Amino acid sequence: MDIFSKIAAGEIPSYKCAENEEFYAFLDINPLVKGHTLVIPRREVDYIFDMEDDEIARYQVFAKKVAAAIKTAYPCVKVAEVVLGLEVPHAHIHLIPMQSEADVDFRRAKLQLPQEEMQQIADRIYAEFVK
């Protein structure tokens, strides 16, 4: 099992932001900005465009709901949706609340936030998601 499958299964801890039976959202451990969230399918699939049409459609609808929760919890101009990276071989969408395009520059230094603050951020997003 890859690391993100283990996270979705609860075998590795994460800061949960949202979930349903098929998808899971949690804070990126090295966020670009507060509220930077990863959205993953629970099932193991590496490349997002290997997903079937109906699955990728449900994935986007779930990501849309998570983005709405992030935007309410962390008011921003828009929530950016980014798919990139080869680090983890499990499909993941980055959702990043942005005030400007500079917030989505992956070459920037990442934030290191205390555990309590990460938990507070995740709880805030989760509370909006389940409303």
**Closer residue to ligand AMP in complex, CB, 29/102:** 29
Min dist CB 21 to ligand AMP, Å, is: 21
Residue showing the smallest CB distance to ligand AMP in the complex: 85
**Beta-strand runs (E) in 1-131:** 16-19, 23-27, 37-41, 78-82, 93-98
Min dist CB 109 to ligand AMP, Å, is: 12
Min dist CB 88 to ligand AMP, Å, is: 5
Give the CA distances from residue 23 to residues 9, 41, 100, 107, in Å, rounded to whole numbers and listed in that order. 11, 4, 28, 28
The answer to whether the beta carbons of residues 16 and 25 sit under 8 Å apart is yes
**Closer residue to ligand AMP in complex, CB, 53/87:** 87
* CA–CA dist 56, 62 (Å, integer): 10
Per CB under 6 A, residues contacting ligand AMP are 3, 14, 28-30, 38, 84-88, 92
> Catalytic site residues?
92
